[in-house]
Amino acid sequence: MSKSERPSQLFRNLNAKVASIPMIFTALVIFVGGTLWTVLYSFTNSKLLPRLHFVGLDQYYRLWATPRWLISIENLLIYGVLSLVFSLVIGFLLAALLDQKIRFEDTFRTIFLYPFALSFIVTGLVWQWLLNPEFGVQGVVRSLGWTSFSFNPLYDSSIVIYGILIAALWQGTGLIMCLMLAGLRGIDEDIWKAARVDGIPTWKTYLFIIIPMMRPVFITTLVIVASNIVRVYDLVVAQTSGGPGIASEVPAKYVYDYMFFAQNLGQGFAASTMMLLSVIIVIVPWAYLEFGGKKRV
């Protein structure tokens, strides 16, 4: 009786599916496929070229017995936590300052944002130069008479990671500020009026009312900052090459070095598998909560 046949489930929404082919391809072939491939070969003893000669968990035993890997993990944790906290805090504070209906807002914003236009390579080079003990900040301060002044993060194993952090924050906080500023501008003026009438101090309004309302902004920011943290590589290479010694090594660099310099793909794949694993453990549940459940009625 029904004239229109129920179309097959596959062809419903056909255009959307066709249009999504690049995305599906990227997701499945590149990200999932590449990942599975990487995981598979992490169980082999592939050297320069990938070969399917399985050696069980050997690469992983070796990985976790390697001091450089452990240092890399430690560095990433320090760098990650600090960079997350500082870029959110500084970014938010700058945005809050700019949001005070100040003059020259455009100028200030441009100044805070411009480093973002520069690559990590450039950032690393400039800060390597600025932090050079001879003619950088330390040298200049010393030449001004304070001869005991010591600020030499790039050649001091114990603080080198902070030297990298300084450069990373310089490069990245501008974007965070922009995101936060946009978020602040999106807050209903009435909220501010209400808080003012209630006599809530400004800082409390920010802390207890505005920030909770900016949840989506913080989430977008978190994705951007966190993904950059895990992938940090160029900056370290340009600024310290992992030195002094191996004091500023990071996991991504370990992966790269062992895959290509050491020509030990298996080891590099094992390290990347560990990175992926930790990313997946943290990200996937969150991503499902954030993006998966939302249905529109």
Partner 1 sequence: MNANGSIAANSSKGTNGTSVSIQNLSLNFGAISVLQTLNLDVAEGEFIVLLGPSGCGKSTLLNCIAGLLDVSEGRIFIKGKNVTWEEPKDRGIGMVFQSYALYPQMTVEKNLSFGLRVAGLAKDEIAKRIARAAEILQIEPLLHRKPAALSGGQRQRVAIGRALVRDVDVFLFDEPLSNLDAKLRAELRVEIKLLHRKLENTMIYVTHDQIEAMTLADRIAVMKGGVIQQLDAPQTIYNRPVNRFVAGFLGSPAMNFLDGRLEQADGDWHFVVEDVRIPLATYAFEKNPVPGPAVFGIRPEHVAFNSGTGWPFAATANVEVVEPMGSDTLVWLKLAGQNFTVRVTAERTPNNAEAVGIGFDPMRASLFDAATGNRL
Partner 2 sequence: MSDQAVSSPAIAGAGGLEAYGPSGPKPRHTFSRRNIFLYGTLIVVALYYLLPLYVMVVTSLKGMPEIRLGNIFSPPMEITFEPWVKAWSSACTGLNCDGLSRGFWNSVRITIPSVILSIALASVNGYALANWRFKGADTFFIILIVGAFIPYQVMIYPIVIILREVGLYGSLSGLVIVHSIFGMPILTLLFRNYFTSMPEELFRAARVDGAGFWGIYFRIMLPMSLPIFVVAIILQVTGIWNDFLFGVVYTRPDTYPMTVQLNNIVNSVQGVKEYNVNMAATILTGLVPLIVYFLSGKLFVRGIAAGAVKG
Partner 3 sequence: MRYQLMTAALAATVALQFAGPAAATDLEVTHWWTSGGEAAAVAELAKAFDATGNHWVDGAIAGSGGTARPIMISRITGGDPMGATQFNHGRQAEELVQAGLMRDLTDLATKEKWTEIVQPKSLLDGCTLDGKIYCVPVNIHSWQWLWLSNAAFKKAGVPVPKNWNEYVAAAPALEKAGILPLAVGGQPWQASGAFDVLLAAVGGTDAFLKVYKDKDAEFAAGPEVAKVFKAADDARKMAKNTNVQDWNQATNLVITGKAGGQIMGDWAQGEFQVAGQVAGKDYTCLPGLGLNEMIATGGDAFYFPLLKDPEKSKAQEVLAHTLLDPKTQVAFNLKKGSLPVRGDVDLKAANDCMKKGLEILAKGNVMPWTDQLLSQDTQKQKEDLFSEFFAKQDMTVEDAQKRFATIVGSAD
| Rama region for 263: left / alpha / beta (φ>0; ψ in -120 to 50; rest) | left
* Count of residues near partner 2 by CB under 8 A: 98
Q: Binders of partner 2 among 237-266, rule CB under 8 A?
A: 251-252, 255-256, 259, 265
Q: Is 231 in the site for partner 2 (CB under 8 A)?
A: yes
Q: Is 15 in the site for partner 2 (CB under 8 A)?
A: yes
Q: Which does 264 bind (CB under 5 to 8 A by kind): partner 2, partner 1, partner 3, none?
A: partner 3
Q: Is 281 exposed, middle or buried (0-12, 13-18, 19+ CB in 10 A)?
A: exposed
Question: 138 is written with which tokens?
Answer: 């330390």
Q: Is 22 in the site for partner 2 (CB under 8 A)?
A: yes
Q: Is 157 in the site for partner 3 (CB under 8 A)?
A: yes
**Do 124 and 234 meet the contact criterion of CB atoms below 8 Å apart?**
yes
Compute and round to an integer the Cα radius of gyration of the chain: 24
Q: Which does 275 bind (CB under 5 to 8 A by kind): partner 1, partner 3, partner 2, none?
A: partner 2
In the block, which residue shows the tokens 């080891």?
Answer: 267
Among 73, 154, 164, 181, binds partner 2 (CB under 8 A): 181
* CA–CA dist 178, 89 (Å, integer): 13
Among the candidate windows 113-121, 166-174, 257-265, 278-286, which touches partner 3 by CB under 8 A? 257-265
Question: 184 is written with which tokens?
Answer: 């602040």
Write the binding mask 161 to 180 for partner 2: x where contact by CB under 8 A, - elsewhere: ---------x---x---xx-
**Do 167 and 127 meet the contact criterion of CB atoms below 8 Å apart?**
yes
* CA–CA dist 274, 280 (Å, integer): 10
Q: Which does 62 bind (CB under 5 to 8 A by kind): partner 1, partner 2, partner 3, none?
A: partner 3
**Do 91 and 177 meet the contact criterion of CB atoms below 8 Å apart?**
yes
Q: Is 54 in the site for partner 3 (CB under 8 A)?
A: no
Write the binding mask 77 to 106 for partner 2: x where contact by CB under 8 A, - elsewhere: -----------------x--xx-x-x---x
